[in-house]
Amino acid sequence: MIPIIQLALAEDIGTGDVTTTSCVAPDRRATGTFLAREPLTLAGTTVLSEIYEARGGVDALELHHADGENLAANTPIATVRGLARTLLECERTVLNFLQRLSGVATMARQYAAEVEGTNCRVLDTRKTTPGLRQLEKAATAAGGVVNHRMGLYDAILIKNNHIAAAGGVRQAISNARAASSFAIEIEVRTLAELDEALAWNADHLLLDNLTPAQARDWIARIAGRAKVELSGGITLDTVRLYAETGTDFVSVGAITHSAPAVDISFRLELT
């Protein structure tokens, strides 16, 4: 089980759902339906079975749609049947995951749609909710965005503070190449840093906080000698402009740190 699921159940149910146990008979059975209340891109359905299993299981769980599907308002997402107490005590935890992760997937789909027809791909970032990175990155992928590194352990990305700590662009690249077989991505903030990074054969350049016009000029200077990623304040209104500069990637932290939860409801009926 993903640890965050157990933590989420523990923080909500604690020593027991006093409302449900006070007013619902222990043998009462019910059927519940999760319903999209607005258009959305679905994500997070994989947590449903784990949540219910952690609370003793249910009689049946039927997923009507898969992660990554675009759903219209009032579309049933899943149906669950079992003890009414189990369905009620898990309701908010399931909804929290579905609403949050589908919100991420929905925003990811919007960004991916904006760059269609270009050679640019949208990347997510490590700007995720603590403990939810695995699920949030699965949600961005469901929405059509490419996962960047999962953490500090699976890719090298030399940023400005690394450059300062290493003693410069050349030293940072040289040290990283000697210590690892990973491709070298490095953030450059000036044309001098860009030229130095290229001279030391950086594989991937991160250009931060440029205007689209500046980005186009820098990419022309790079001339295909390294992959290019643009970042820094790129929004749905501007992502197409950046995608058309010739960049290989744009990275957008807002997809995970600022995606609003979508509206999903749970309707319960006695069986």
Q: Which residues, 6+ apart, have CB-to-CB distance to 132 below 8 Å?
A: 4, 100
**Same domain assignment for residues 64 and 160:** no
CATH number of the domain that 198 lies in?
3.20.20.70
Q: Which of 208, 217, 244, 263 is catalytic?
A: 208
Give the pLDDT score at 173.
98
121 located within any domain: no
Active site residue 114: no
216 located within any domain: yes
Query: How distant, in Å, are the alpha carbons of 138, 187, 224 from that of 256?
Result: 11, 21, 30
Show the low-confidence residues of the chain (pLDDT under 50): none
**Same domain assignment for residues 99 and 163:** no
Give the pLDDT score at 271.
87
| Domain total in the chain | 2
CATH number of the domain that 100 lies in?
3.90.1170.20
**Same domain assignment for residues 92 and 153:** no
Give the pLDDT score at 255.
98
Active site residue 159: yes
117 located within any domain: no
Q: Which domain holds residue 217?
A: 146-251
131 located within any domain: no
Give the pLDDT score at 63.
98
Q: What is the pLDDT of residues 5-17, one digit of tens each?
A: 999 999 999 999 9
**Same domain assignment for residues 266 and 221:** no
Give the pLDDT score at 169.
98
Global pTM value: 0.96
**Same domain assignment for residues 186 and 222:** yes
Q: Which residues, 6+ apart, have CB-to-CB distance to 261 below 8 Å?
A: 99, 100, 102, 103
Active site residue 227: no
Active site residue 203: no
Do the beta carbons of residue 95 and residue 221 sit within 8 Å? no
